[in-house]
Amino acid sequence: MTDSAAAPSAQARRPIALVTGPTSGLGASFARVLAERGHDLILVARNEERLRTLAKELADIYGATSEVIVADLATELGRDATAARLAQGVDVLVNNAGFLTDGEFWDTDLELLRDQLAVNVTAVLELTHAALPAMRAAGRGTVVNVASVSGLFTGPASTYSASKSWVVKFSEGLAHKLAADGIHMVALCPGFMDTEFHPRGGQDVSGVPKALWLDTDDVARTGLDDAANGRFVSIPGRRYKLFTTLDRIKPRRLVWRA
């Protein structure tokens, strides 16, 4: 469902950013940071009540106008509705929506795995494909694809990590070519953040050291700033930068050692 009545007017045009999964956590931080930086928003998620609450907050605090699209990106219908809006043109696309499944692959419900692939991979592919023609015609644009630091590590990855590894490779490969068109694309690879994400995925993170937790506002700013500065992969936090560097130089025989 699209609330076209809330769409930005043509007068005194502000840049427009579409953010998927903005109703909590990192997505909400992206929406707030973009509104703070002068953008109007297109907010895409399943929960209409949360979307409208966020839209009111962005209007009250930042004076930003928000268009609401109620869509489930695990479905073709939801992806098509969002892609149709992107085809009209946006200045920034943040592919943030995603979810985690925990446990062994062979014990996980196949439909759940298919939904995870649809949101984490297919939606990123289709929405980026929909946004790029207008961006290339305009000679400018920014795409932030939210991956994960887990997508950078080698080892017995879960389906979640494998999906985020795809996002990294997809974004990094495209970014090199799009730079010539004036378009900035970055794969954002955050670590642990204090959000609803891990509990929803059934992941116990109680033992994660405090030093490894990142602030979602800081992560959103880092992703946008790294994109603007021409980085293709963004890793927020010095510790995570160190971990991924060490993983790249670690002998492969150690990766699979129990």
pLDDT score recorded for residue 103: 78
Q: Which of 17, 93, 147, 160 is catalytic?
A: 160
Residue 193: is its pLDDT beyond 80? no
Q: How many CB atoms lie within 10 A of CB 228?
A: 11
**How does pLDDT run across 197-211, given as a tens digit for each residue?**
555 645 556 555 666
Q: Does residue 186 contact residue 145 with C-beta atoms inside 8 Å?
A: yes
Percent of the chain with pLDDT over 70: 80
pLDDT score recorded for residue 109: 93
| Mean pLDDT value across residues 24-31 | 96
pLDDT score recorded for residue 187: 98
62 is catalytic: no
pLDDT score recorded for residue 125: 98
Min mean pLDDT across 85-94, 151-160, 197-206 is at 197-206
Q: Does residue 54 contact residue 31 with C-beta atoms inside 8 Å?
A: yes
All domains of the chain, ordered by start, with CATH?
4-255 (3.40.50.720)
Residue 185 in tokens: 């694309």
DSSP classification of residue 210: G
